[in-house]
Structure 1
Amino acid sequence: MTSEIERAAAPRRQKVQSAEVGTDILKGLAELAPATSLSRLAEHVSMPASKVHRYLQALIASGFAEQDESTGHYGLGREALFVGLAAIGRLDVTKVALPRLVELRDALNETCFLAVWGNKGPTVVHVEQAVRAVTVVTQVGSVLPLLGSSTGLVFDAFLPAVELAALQAEALAEPGAPSAAELAALQAQIRARGLHHVHGLLMSGVNALSAPLFAAGEKLVGVITVVGTASSFPADPEGAQAERLRTVAAEISARMGGVAPQ
């Protein structure tokens, strides 16, 4: 009788084990994003390459993984993005910020987006595109440079040092990066203003303004950014657009129990 029960339970255990292996491989793809080779992924998840390849084929068939035909590398698929965005959607900062982001886009008629801190750095999680003939396209899922974008620099100014130490060290080692002293002065300026502006830093002819969002305990939970072409968006840190951005950031922070810098 016991052996019959065990035989009946065996397929269920195998399914659970298969699900666990598939989940580990999905996590590996996320940690090695945006793309990775089969050998690197197999080494990362400590599995034989043949086993990883077998599971990858099943994940590709279900839309959770995809393979770049030109490089042969693997990455997360559309279904994984859908699940990830659904999880992000449960975050309070996203729920609170989205209607305000729409209002900000309508008021300024410039592209506005929300970014949160991900394992690779500042990550765009929602975009409200401007309603105009020429817009600046910002993609959901984009990871912005820490010291090469207004969004990244606001994260750098307000996040605890321990959270961004590794990424900051990499960024400071890149050609054209500011010195440690220059970065410290810039951080102080951003904290004093409560926002940051850039003119053509990430992309020539494109300006941006970014402001931090705080929850209770003055915890930085996101950054909202307005971005537009230099011809239509001056990104003046003392102008009316910056003041509107500060107001929206303060309203979102207040709803979350935080206080935005004034």
Structure 2
Amino acid sequence: MTNISNKSVQRAFKLVDELSENGSGRVSDLAERLDMPVSTVHDYLQSLVATGYVTMEGKEYRTTTRFLEIGNRQRHRLEIFKAVRDELETVAEETSEHATLLIEEDDQAVILAVQEGPDAINLFAYPGARMPLHAVAPGKAMLAHMPDDRVNELIDRHGLVEVTPRTITDPDVLFEQLEQIRTQGYAVDEGERIAGMVCIAAPVLDKNERIRGAICVCGPQSRIDEERRNEIADVVKRAANVTQVNLDYV
């Protein structure tokens, strides 16, 4: 009974993920893409429609905003979200760029909050977006404050996937960078996830030195030279420190 229940849940969420990735889908198309019987897909979709998490328009099914509601409820429960809200807006204003707060969840870097400065490029970044830890500055900032055993475990489990030609795929190179990040207090990625973009991030630690997240600023490489990089690094480090203080007293 337990195995059947687990399999049912997994199938339901496979359908949800497929609809989310593609925007919508018909029963026959979903069945083909997921290699599931048409009748099974239809039954699952009808159950999801009945719960309000999927809706049907004509012959097309799509997810509803119920998932947004759930995500926002959870986000507002997180201490770090409460601690960073005002500070992230200040970071975006001071740098004029794209500012985000990310946390680690299920071995990935997840965007929790976004603020856009006046010159920010639209990166289609939104709360809930997930990305490999090793391929982004905030992910590396968080990895730098995890035990080496945990980092090795993550590498063994997921590998170091190449997102762009500049992504770090060599564990030795990654560990060298993590040591440098701990020393200088911030991480940088130069086109490692998005070509042509430079991202600078500082880790947010709590009073027990546990990693709680990272604050990041991203902008086009053409306007972030060495001097401006240092200025942004100072801004994100200060913001991370203020967030840490807020976090300890939330």
Measured against the shorter chain, the TM-score band is 0.7 to 0.9
Displacement of 1:218 = 1.0
Q: 1:35 aligns with which of 18, 38, 54?
A: 18
Which SS does the other structure have where 1:216 is aligned?
coil
Provide the aligned C-alpha RMSD in A.
3.8
**Residues 172 and 202 (structure 1), Cα distance of their counterparts in 2 relative to 1, 3 Å cut:** closer
Displacement of 1:111 = 0.8
Which SS does the other structure have where 1:213 is aligned?
strand
- Provide the aligned length of Structure 1 versus Structure 2: 228
Displacement of 1:126 = 1.1
- Once the two structures are superposed, the pairs formed by residues 114-129 of structure 1 within 5 Å of their partners are 114-129=101-116
Who is 1:172 aligned against?
160
Displacement of 1:112 = 0.4
Deviations 1:144-170 (A, max 9, x none): 222221122112212345555554232
Q: Write the distance in 2 (CA, Å) between the matches of 1:26 and 1:82.
A: 21
Displacement of 1:115 = 0.8
Who is 2:25 aligned against?
none
Scaled by the length of structure 2, what TM-score is found?
0.73
**Residues 133 and 125 (structure 1), Cα distance of their counterparts in 2 relative to 1, 3 Å cut:** closer
Displacement of 1:98 = 1.1
Is residue 255 of structure 1 aligned with residue 246 of structure 2? yes
Q: Which structure would you say has the larger Rg?
A: 1
Q: 1:85 aligns with which of 50, 53, 72?
A: 72
**Residues 211 and 199 (structure 1), Cα distance of their counterparts in 2 relative to 1, 3 Å cut:** same
Instruction: Report if aligned partners of 2:101, 2:215 keep a CA contact under 8 Å in 1.
Output: yes
Instruction: Report if aligned partners of 1:115, 1:224 keep a CA contact under 8 Å in 2.
Output: yes
- Once the two structures are superposed, the pairs formed by residues 185-196 of structure 1 within 5 Å of their partners are 185-196=176-187
Scaled by the length of structure 1, what TM-score is found?
0.70
Q: Write the distance in 1 (CA, Å) between the matches of 2:13 and 2:33.
A: 10
Q: Write the distance in 1 (CA, Å) between the matches of 2:243 and 2:224.
A: 23
Deviations 1:15-49 (A, max 9, x none): xxxxxx8xx8389628x9843877999x9xxxx99
- Once the two structures are superposed, the pairs formed by residues 68-107 of structure 1 within 5 Å of their partners are 77-107=64-94
Displacement of 1:210 = 0.6
Instruction: Report if aligned partners of 1:157, 1:191 keep a CA contact under 8 Å in 2.
Output: yes
